[in-house]
């Protein structure tokens, strides 16, 4: 085998022009694939980070309360009892926070927006304040400075609100301004609350378009709810990978404790309203989900991006494969007499096949490793540069206002192995043809 | 004597468009172990075809070819490959060395294909044959750094390294000047004397023929007649007869 490796490597060196050209092409495709995968991973990380901070816990215990068969509210009643069961039954529990849910109109002196209300207890929050990055004034105020104003932790104070920069821009407000929240209580009456903007956070793509943060008390007051209610319990685990399995455990524990549960449905709670309103029951039913259910409407972004990435890469790889096949045909043609000689002196068909496959394997492996290293270096460089995303539409897709690329060793390995395999397979047919050359014909071959 | 090579009523036809070329017509030939035999004839007479059949790199259209006791027509490609590797050494007119390997590696190549020897044993074998052909000081050079005569010596070393029963050489001096050609034939003959390796080579050079023990003449695919060269070799077979 050693001599075959030696011949294969030396043959590659022997044709520097052809080898360099093919290696460059394979390397660039690998770089391209690694960059796309890094962007996809970056979006995925944004999604996980944002989703598990802004939209859901790792596991969510929410519910619907129906006073009549025709009405439904996203409320969990008797939350103290529910929380006890969840705390007792959740393996690997880190902490639990409450999110009170509502929907209302936020009005300023110059504008108005519709938004979901997230009521929280600042003192109970874990990662929330670490993940919520505040925006410099210039992001929401024309002619504003790069200075960051406000403090999101002031949500511990009554009648406060944290907006995202896009919302603040539309409302024309800054930190310290007062806005009014208008909602409708469960009895149908209008209710309002004046709240002070205590911080303005950087946008997080689509997730930040329909959400504002207020203290729990604001939501309870607006909807005239008592203290033993909440919108959802967000359960955080030591290991996010255990989310789905833990959801099943929690569901079982709640059923055992006598709570009524909706069947599992992989959708965020606001997608379920219409169905719940049409269901023929009254009272309380809990709805237990995991974080991916709550952002399932966003996973299309990743699916579409990944599909597009692989499709583009596939097109490039097919072009490269044609190039490799062509190069290998040339190599076989140029070295037909050499193959004939090796066959004549006792080299088996299998070894000839291996020899040519080794050549394309080494070419592919060398080029993909260099290409992947280059791709990783570019991706890390771009990520470190924290390049701002100028377009709202792109921000929505990337779920971030900065270009975030993530490099994982596994993705590099996938890029290297898949492209090396593909380039090696491209040489299979020429290699088979070379191995099946009759020695006598190969020896008398003329160019 | 049974002969290390036997051809019985061997026919080789090549289709060439709608025409069939009769390269060999009912050839009968026996070559005994240790003979130093020349297949002589003009271009297109069938010399190379005959060597190809003996060398198991081509198969007869009809008749039987026995090499080292094995009927080649009945062997699979794998068995033919093994027979070539273990029983036959090849020397080509254009040397046919592997250009990306140095001299030592070229000579060692068949041993690596054979397997079974330790690195030290292989090195000893290679050193032995490289010394024999007088190329020790060139062992680390590439073929394209050597003269034609030196390259042919490498080819001889490569053919001998596996200690084959038969060495086949297709016009080994055709690409060499006459002095170098004579040296190459003398070298082959010396090895034949020392090791009793059977040498069968083709040529149309009368001077080369004179140095052979036995000359088998071929014309239009048929063996012509028996003949003796001027020098009688060490062959104990007395194989100057063409067994036609």
CA gap A271, A184 in Å, rounded: 20
User: Domain check: are A342 and A385 in the same one?
Assistant: yes
Asked if B61 reaches chain A (Cβ–Cβ under 8 Å), the answer is: no
CA gap A230, A100 in Å, rounded: 5
Using alpha carbons, list the distances in angstroms from residue B130 to A227, A280, B115, B134: 97, 96, 19, 6
CA gap A318, A322 in Å, rounded: 6
CB pair distance less than 8 Å for B99 and A14: yes
Examine the fold and report which residue of A246, A271, A294 is the final residue of a domain before the chain moves on.
Answer: A294
Residue A121 has pLDDT above 80, yes or no: yes
Are the beta carbons of B213 and B233 closer than 8 angstroms? yes
User: Domain check: are A135 and A278 in the same one?
Assistant: yes
CB pair distance less than 8 Å for A349 and B81: yes
Chain A closest-CA separation from residue B45 CA (Å):
16
Select from B58, B94, B101 the Cβ nearest to the Cβ of A7: B101
Tell me the per-residue pLDDT of A339-389, one tens digit each, with 9 for 90 and over: 889 999 899 999 999 998 998 899 999 999 999 999 999 999 999 998 887
Q: Give the residue-averaged pLDDT of A297-311.
A: 79
CB pair distance less than 8 Å for B96 and A6: no
User: Domain check: are A320 and A371 in the same one?
Assistant: yes
Q: Which of A94-103, A145-154, A395-404, B45-54 has the lowest mean pLDDT?
A: A395-404
CB pair distance less than 8 Å for B110 and A10: no
Using alpha carbons, list the distances in angstroms from residue A345 to A445, B53, B163, B203: 17, 14, 13, 21
Q: What is the CATH number of the domain that holds B157?
A: 3.40.50.300
Taking the C-alpha atoms of A428, A430, A432 and A437 in order, what is their torsion angle to the nearest 10 degrees?
-170
Chain A residues whose C-beta sits inside 8 Å of any chain B C-beta: 2-3, 6-7, 10-11, 13-14, 337-338, 340-349, 351, 438-440, 443
- State the pLDDT at residue B236: 39
CA gap B90, B112 in Å, rounded: 16
Task: Please check whether residue B221 lies inside any domain of the structure.
Answer: yes
By residue range, what is the domain housing residue B62? 5-228
Name the one residue in this structure whose structure tokens are 């009648």: A159
CB pairs under 8 A between A and B: 73
CA gap A291, B230 in Å, rounded: 98
Query: Closest chain B residue to A440 measured between Cα atoms?
Result: B57
Number of domains in chain A: 2
CB pair distance less than 8 Å for A3 and B55: no
B-chain residues near A351 (CB < 8 A): 113
By residue range, what is the domain housing residue A94? 57-294
CA gap A127, A133 in Å, rounded: 12
What letters, b where the CB count within 10 A reaches 16 and e where it falls short, cover A53-88?
bbbbbbbbbbbbbbeeeeebbbbbbebeebbebbee
CA gap A382, A404 in Å, rounded: 8
**Average pLDDT value over all residues in chain A:** 88
Task: Please check whether residue B243 lies inside any domain of the structure.
Answer: no
Tell me the per-residue pLDDT of B128-153, one tens digit each, with 9 for 90 and over: 888 888 888 888 999 999 988 889 88
3-class SS of residue A257: coil
CB pair distance less than 8 Å for B57 and A440: yes
Number of domains in chain B: 1
Query: Closest chain B residue to A346 measured between Cα atoms?
Result: B85
Q: Which of A321-325, B6-10, B85-89 has the lowest mean pLDDT?
A: A321-325
A-chain residues near B55 (CB < 8 A): 344
User: Domain check: are A185 and A284 in the same one?
Assistant: yes
Q: Give the residue-averaged pLDDT of A26-39.
A: 91
Asked if B85 reaches chain A (Cβ–Cβ under 8 Å), the answer is: yes
Chain A closest-CA separation from residue B89 CA (Å):
7
Residue B181: what are its φ and ψ, rounded to 5°?
-60, -45
User: Domain check: are A158 and A272 in the same one?
Assistant: yes
Tell me the per-residue pLDDT of A177-227, one tens digit each, with 9 for 90 and over: 999 999 988 777 889 999 999 999 988 776 777 889 999 999 999 988 888
- State the pLDDT at residue A47: 79
Are the beta carbons of B27 and B229 closer than 8 angstroms? no
Portion of chain A with pLDDT greater than 90, in percent: 47
Task: Please check whether residue B97 lies inside any domain of the structure.
Answer: yes
- State the pLDDT at residue B233: 42
Task: Please check whether residue B236 lies inside any domain of the structure.
Answer: no
- State the pLDDT at residue B2: 66
Q: Give the residue-averaged pLDDT of B200-218.
A: 86
Task: Please check whether residue B241 lies inside any domain of the structure.
Answer: no
CB pair distance less than 8 Å for A3 and B112: yes
Select from B96, B100, B113 the Cβ nearest to the Cβ of A341: B96
User: Domain check: are A348 and A408 in the same one?
Assistant: yes
User: Domain check: are A307 and A273 in the same one?
Assistant: no
Asked if B115 reaches chain A (Cβ–Cβ under 8 Å), the answer is: no
User: Domain check: are A169 and A194 in the same one?
Assistant: yes
Taking the C-alpha atoms of B70, B71, B76 and B79 in order, what is their torsion angle to the nearest 10 degrees?
10
Does ipTM exceed 0.95? no
User: Domain check: are A302 and A385 in the same one?
Assistant: yes
Q: Which of A194-198, B28-32, B180-184, B194-198 has the lowest mean pLDDT?
A: B180-184
Higher-pLDDT residue of A376, A438: A376
Examine the fold and report which residue of A242, A263, A294 is the final residue of a domain before the chain moves on.
Answer: A294
User: Domain check: are A34 and A71 in the same one?
Assistant: no
- State the pLDDT at residue A54: 78
């Amino acid at each position: 085998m050693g001599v075959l490796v030696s011949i294969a490597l030396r043959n590659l060196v022997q044709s520097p022009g052809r080898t360099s050209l093919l290696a460059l092409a394979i390397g660039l495709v690998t770089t391209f694939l690694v960059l796309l995968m890094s962007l996809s991973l970056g979006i995925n990380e944004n999604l996980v980070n944002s989703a598990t901070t802004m939209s859901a816990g790792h596991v969510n215990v929410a519910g619907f309360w129906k006073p009549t068969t025709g009405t439904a509210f996203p409320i969990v009643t008797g939350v103290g009892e529910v929380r006890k069961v969840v705390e007792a039954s959740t393996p690997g529990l880190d902490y639990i926070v409450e999110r009170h849910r509502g929907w209302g109109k936020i009005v300023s002196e110059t504008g108005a927006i519709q938004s979901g209300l997230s009521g929280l207890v600042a003192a109970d929050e874990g990662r929330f304040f670490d993940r919520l990055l505040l925006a410099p004034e210039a992001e929401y105020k024309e002619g504003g400075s790069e200075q960051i104003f406000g403090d999101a932790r002031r949500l511990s104070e009554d009648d406060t609100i944290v907006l995202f920069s896009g919302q603040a821009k539309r409302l024309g407000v800054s930190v310290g301004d007062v806005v009014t929240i208008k909602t409708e209580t469960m009895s149908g009456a209008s209710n309002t609350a004046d709240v002070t903007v205590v911080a303005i956070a950087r946008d997080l793509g689509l997730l930040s378009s329909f959400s504002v943060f207020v203290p729990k008390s604001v939501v309870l007051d607006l909807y005239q709810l008592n203290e033993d209610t909440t919108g959802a319990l967000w359960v955080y685990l030591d290991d996010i990978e255990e989310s789905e399995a833990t959801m099943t455990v929690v569901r079982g524990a709640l059923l055992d404790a006598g709570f009524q549960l909706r069947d599992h449905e992989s959708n965020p709670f606001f997608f379920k309203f219409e169905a719940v309103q049409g269901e023929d029951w009254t009272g309380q039913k809990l709805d237990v989900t995991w974080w991916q259910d709550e952002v399932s409407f966003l996973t299309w972004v990743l699916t579409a991006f990944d599909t597009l990435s692989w499709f583009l890469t596939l097109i490039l790889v097919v072009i490269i494969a044609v190039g490799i096949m062509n190069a290998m045909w040339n190599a076989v043609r140029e070295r037909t007499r050499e193959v004939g000689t090796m066959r004549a002196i006792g080299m088996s068909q299998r070894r000839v096949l291996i020899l040519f496959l080794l050549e394309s394997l080494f070419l592919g492996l060398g080029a993909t490793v260099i290409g992947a290293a280059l791709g990783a270096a570019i991706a890390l460089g771009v990520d470190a540069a924290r390049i701002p995303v100028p377009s709202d539409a792109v921000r929505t897709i990337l779920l971030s206002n900065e270009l975030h690329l993530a490099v994982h060793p596994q993705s590099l390995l996938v890029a290297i192995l898949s492209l090396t395999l593909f380039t090696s397979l491209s040489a299979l047919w020429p290699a088979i043809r070379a191995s099946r050359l009759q020695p006598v014909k190969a020896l008398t071959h003329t160019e | 004597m049974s002969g290390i090579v036997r051809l019985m009523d061997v026919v080789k036809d090549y289709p060439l468009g709608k025409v069939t070329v009769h390269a060999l017509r009912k050839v009968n030939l026996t070559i005994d172990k240790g003979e130093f035999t020349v297949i002589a004839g003009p271009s297109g007479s069938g010399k190379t075809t005959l060597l190809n059949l003996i060398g198991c790199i081509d198969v007869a259209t009809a008749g039987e070819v026995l090499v080292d006791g094995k009927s080649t027509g009945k062997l699979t490609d794998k068995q033919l490959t093994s027979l070539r590797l273990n029983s036959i050494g090849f020397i080509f007119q254009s040397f046919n060395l592997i250009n990306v390997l140095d001299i030592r590696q070229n000579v060692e190549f068949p041993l690596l294909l054979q397997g079974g020897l330790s690195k030290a044993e292989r090195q000893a074998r290679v050193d032995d044959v490289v010394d024999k052909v007088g190329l020790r000081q060139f062992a680390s050079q590439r073929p394209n750094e050597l003269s034609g005569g030196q390259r042919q010596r490498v080819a001889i070393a490569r053919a001998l390294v596996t200690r084959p029963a038969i060495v086949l050489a297709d016009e080994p001096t055709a690409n060499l000047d006459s002095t170098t050609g004579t040296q190459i034939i003398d070298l082959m003959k010396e090895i034949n004397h020392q090791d009793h390796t059977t040498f069968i080579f083709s040529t149309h050079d009368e001077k080369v023929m004179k140095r052979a023990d036995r000359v088998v003449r071929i014309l239009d695919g048929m063996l012509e007649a028996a003949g003796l060269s001027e020098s009688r070799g060490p062959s104990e077979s007395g194989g100057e007869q063409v067994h036609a």
